[in-house]
Amino acid sequence: MVPLVPRFPAIVEKPPMLVRGDRVGLIAPASPPTRDDIAESVAHIESLGLLPVLGKYVHEQNGYLAGSDTQRAADFNAMAADAGVRAIVAIRGGYGTMRLLPLLDYEAVRRDPKIVMGFSDLTALLNAVTARSGVVTFHGPVGAHGSSWSGVARTYLEAALFNDQPLSPAGGARPVVPGRARGRLAGGNLALVAALVGTPYAVPTDGAILFLEETEEAPYRIDRMLTQLDLAGQLSAARGILIGQCTKCTAPFPTHSAAEVIEERLKALGRPAATGAPIGHIQAQWVLPIGVEAELDATNGTLTFLEAACGPPRR
């Protein structure tokens, strides 16, 4: 029997939009950042007219983790509980965020909604916070992802964080299975979405528009992860699927390409689906609000946001 697939709450709250001068917490929930990573993140937050606040443990290192699980969770929880902090941004991804999921203070985010942003390994945290706190989170750049804080990427970023109106429609994807679908946005990094299957923190794909991206995974591994999601019922539960970029997803031996593997699986599903959206480990990535109602027009390769991602500024 295919297990029940989780879905987001019927009502998802919007965090207040940012205004210049707001305080932004910088945390390291995954791999340890370098001093350059931290300095770059501080500079990026300041460039938006915001005030960076470093987590207590961002300089810690525990092997391949940025401190112990308790320390990394404590930084998130402290920022979530601080009414003066209006956003929480990860300095970098890497590995380790899913270890924190049982330790996070979801009620603090529910009581005082605020922007939470990151991507890649942060996929686990973002979807868990939206599902358990009922607050929109943001699949967007980490602090040290330099190219995503300038140029057109900065336009995406500012439109998402400093705005209490629906974002402009996003285009540029290629159709795989034509059609339209509506649902709440869910997803992120394919490896994390697959790794959470069968846990209490599985990504809520039921009735969702599921978006996925990946980097440095061989095509056969992408096939395996998509198969895992398919067997768990998480792909068929989604109303539509939007694939971002699969950067450096090659193998040193003759094989199907990542694009061929993905298109084969999407066509077999028969859900409205498109690929090639600017999502993932790229220079100019869309900022996608997880939990927001959206419409995927796979025929024309567009994503339309049906509601705002942020509410009015906090008074």
- If phi over 0 gives left and psi between -120 and 50 gives alpha, with beta otherwise, what is residue 151? left
Token pair 């937050």: residue: 45
Instruction: Please give the model's pTM, rounded to 2 decimal places.
Output: 0.96
As beta bridge partners, residue 185 has: 209
**Identity of residue 232:** A
Q: What is the pLDDT of residue 13?
A: 97
200 HSE (CA, 13 A, CB side) = 6
Ordered per-residue pLDDT tens for the chain, 315 residues: 455 789 999 999 999 999 999 999 999 999 999 999 999 999 999 999 999 999 999 999 999 999 999 999 999 999 999 999 999 999 999 999 999 999 999 999 999 999 999 999 999 999 999 999 999 999 999 999 766 788 888 999 999 999 999 999 999 999 999 999 999 999 999 999 999 999 999 999 999 999 999 998 999 999 999 999 999 999 999 999 999 988 888 877 767 899 999 999 999 999 999 999 999 998 888 999 999 999 999 999 999 999 999 999 987
H/E stretch holding 259: helix 258-269
Domains and CATH numbers, the chain: 23-161 (3.40.50.10740), 174-305 (3.50.30.60)
Count of beta carbons in the 10 Å neighbourhood of residue 8: 26
As beta bridge partners, residue 54 has: 26
159 close to 152: Cβ distance less than 8 angstroms: no
- Burial (CB < 10 A; 0-12, 13-18, 19+), residue 4, is exposed
Count of beta carbons in the 10 Å neighbourhood of residue 159: 15
Nearest to 86, CA basis, from 129, 121, 41, 51: 51
Catalytic amino acids? 120, 213, 281
92 HSE (CA, 13 A, CB side) = 19
Tokens of residue 290, six digits: 């997880």
Alpha-carbon gap, residue 98 to 273, rounded angstroms: 27
